[in-house]
Chains A and B, each alone.
Chain A
């Protein structure tokens, strides 16, 4: 079974190689739902927030799609490029007008709403089951594409967030390894914070301001062993003791231990403070590696990734998944494209272009992953990574997290109050 599954995943690679030899039927034996490439035909549209710009477009249209066309000569793909910043506007107008693209790439957290409202096709009906996917991906990642027990999306790439330490700074302060608990994190952060004589911050011990306040909170929440929602996603769980402890830690780091000031860095800063030594530790995105490679290669050796360790392991993942429209006129062609885009070759190329983390477990061994220490680290720890989302109203409520977290960091509310107020807001949305 495992062999078969691997075969499936590598089918497209094999296909390209073998097509010329007339062995195109090699995939026919996999499952009865599988497609006969020659019989699949039609014009389909693809909406993608990745593959943007000339390099992305060249990769997709000059390298990947020709491979796809070789396999499925009777299918035509029209690509509609957008960015994540405007994906929602594109999706909204698509849904409202009924012109939903056949294949849509969207983010973790989007699936719940779009699956719940019947926009997305149940991929189980197209032959992709939870069990087969779980052979190729970690469970949590497969679940990111599921709603109500059914599979609606297949992951392509992941955006992960975890702790990063500047080992040169830590060693100077007498620490040989990144923190392995909250207590150590506080201790090292305090020891590495530098303030000038007039008290203004010169180096943050632990930076949480250069990423979205919601995602920072979620990463710490996961490390506290907390959850965003209860098991059936009908009620918020982030205002539990773990949640309050997590937000309490963030507030304390700012107000009590003073290892970072609000506004010291921001999500819009040109450069991450870990690269130029304005922070000793912080929560960072895996593309920090690529950024450092561009800005200052010498710093790479000093950047050490770590999972934030509290009661549990805190690592966050979001990402891009491929879905098929429920009302697609050519569901077979759409499914073929979805499988192609999530196949090892195509997914690896897409990830490499953006410096992101491939979702497929088998790609851990690829040259790209082995050459990028952050991506490698992320993949090695995917078993502890958790995602955001849960109820179908997630997109509705996620924007309310940042103001609540900011309110607590600014001392306007206690962590408990801030999270309770937020939970009330979220519960109202779920019940609506």
Chain B
């Protein structure tokens, strides 16, 4: 088999399974209705807190003070959103968060998938140890790692006025480097990619090898297209984590030009006084891009591969 044939095979299978027979469809209509009811109840449980957040963001301080609290706003204060945007340079923060989250996602998907593939499908010495070490890296809490990480950034040689030994300047502090590089890749993404590459069958790989395809082409052209759902998952989770990150961007930057959206939201939580309506409005606005991204990413959650025809 040549590469085009293998690809065609993989693609044709995606196409041929389109009139998919879901095993669930055999279930009776009443069962399906029950399941829908359960899912609707579950969705409500998931949505009610979010709904409460949105409704709170539309109330006046006077209404928030009422007891017992109202559910729907008596007066819909859409002006809260304008006031929220005035409370901090959210446009700038939004842009910064977006740049950081996008770069993190790209780095993670590219490096993480390569590493995950190697760990799953290529045997080499020390593979097992590296894999376990990656998992072990996740086991020390952020709060303990953050100070050494800060020092690594500060003593980065030859940056920010530092000499070759990292002395004398401020290194990567208050630069985009500090915001983008350290958080660019997480071991959990590598782990997830590995698990997905593991679940793919060997047939294609062997066929491709017989045809003399190099390992990088097998990775990039044969297997990776089959794990689009995993790429979407890792991408979403990385983006989301980066988007909601607060402490690291606050610590490594000093100028407000480099601050991010969560730092902007912290403005509403002053000591002894939280401005709930603005905090909720800001959080709602910060959540919307993530929801849009999720809805968009769903189209990649399609059947990646079936090995029905290969025998």
Contact residues of A with B, CB < 8 Å?
A: 45, 52-55, 57, 78-86, 89-90, 92-93, 96-97, 99, 159, 211, 268, 270-271, 275-278, 285, 287, 290-291, 294-296, 354-355
Question: 9 nearest interchain CB pairs?
Answer: A53-B267, A295-B65, A80-B254, A294-B61, A271-B65, A84-B271, A276-B67, A97-B154, A93-B150
B269 at the interface (CB under 8 A from A): yes
15 A-B residue contacts at CB 8 Å? A52-B267, A54-B87, A54-B89, A54-B267, A80-B254, A80-B255, A83-B267, A86-B247, A93-B150, A96-B151, A97-B155, A276-B65, A278-B67, A290-B273, A294-B61
Name the residue in A80, A85, A97 with the highest tally of chain B Cβ atoms < 10 Å from its Cβ: A97
Q: Which residues of A contact B254 (CB under 8 A)?
A: 45, 78, 80
Q: Which residues of A contact B86 (CB under 8 A)?
A: 54
The smallest beta-carbon distance between B271 and chain A, in angstroms, is 4
Name the contact of A295 in the complex, choosing from B64, B69, B87, B154 (C-beta under 8 A).
B64
**Known interface pairs A45-B254, A93-B251, A97-B151. Does A83 touch B66 (Cβ–Cβ under 8 Å)?**
no
Q: Which residues of A contact B154 (CB under 8 A)?
A: 97, 99
**Known interface pairs A271-B64, A278-B67. Does A99 touch B170 (Cβ–Cβ under 8 Å)?**
yes
B266 at the interface (CB under 8 A from A): yes
Flag B264-280 by CB within 8 Å of A: 1 or 0 each. 00111111111010000
B295 at the interface (CB under 8 A from A): no
CB pair A53 B87 closer than 8 Å: yes
Q: Which residues of B contact A268 (CB under 8 A)?
A: 274
Q: Return the chain A residue nearest B173 by Cβ.
A: A99
Q: Return the chain B residue nearest A285 by Cβ.
A: B272
The smallest beta-carbon distance between A122 and chain B, in angstroms, is 26
Report the bound CA distance from A277 to B69 in whole Å. 13
CB pair B273 A90 closer than 8 Å: no
Report the bound CA distance from A415 to B269 in whole Å. 33
Question: Told that A89-B146, A278-B67, A354-B270 touch, could you supply 6 new A-B pairs with CB distance under 8 A?
Answer: A52-B266, A52-B267, A78-B255, A99-B154, A270-B64, A276-B66
CB pair A85 B269 closer than 8 Å: yes
CB pair B251 A89 closer than 8 Å: yes
**Known interface pairs A54-B86, A81-B256. Does A97 touch B67 (Cβ–Cβ under 8 Å)?**
no
CB pair A57 B247 closer than 8 Å: no
B250 at the interface (CB under 8 A from A): yes
CB pair B147 A92 closer than 8 Å: yes
CB pair B272 A159 closer than 8 Å: yes
Q: Which residues of A contact B270 (CB under 8 A)?
A: 52, 83-84, 354
Report the bound CA distance from A84 to B51 in whole Å. 29
B88 at the interface (CB under 8 A from A): yes
Q: Return the chain A residue nearest B267 by Cβ.
A: A53
**Known interface pairs A53-B88, A82-B250, A86-B250. Does A287 touch B170 (Cβ–Cβ under 8 Å)?**
no
CB pair B87 A55 closer than 8 Å: yes
B62 at the interface (CB under 8 A from A): yes
The smallest beta-carbon distance between B179 and chain A, in angstroms, is 15
Q: Which residues of A contact B251 (CB under 8 A)?
A: 86, 89-90, 93
Q: Which residues of A contact B269 (CB under 8 A)?
A: 83, 85
Name the residue in B89, B268, B270 with the highest tally of chain A Cβ atoms < 10 Å from its Cβ: B270
CB pair A90 B250 closer than 8 Å: yes
Residues of chain B in range 221-278 having any CB-CB distance to chain A below 8 Å: 247, 250-251, 254-256, 259, 266-274, 276
Report the bound CA distance from A287 to B270 in whole Å. 11
Q: Return the chain B residue nearest A318 by Cβ.
A: B271
**Known interface pairs A57-B256, A291-B273. Does A93 touch B64 (Cβ–Cβ under 8 Å)?**
no
Report the bound CA distance from A355 to B271 in whole Å. 12
CB pair B65 A287 closer than 8 Å: no
The smallest beta-carbon distance between A271 and chain B, in angstroms, is 4
Report the bound CA distance from A81 to B258 in whole Å. 11
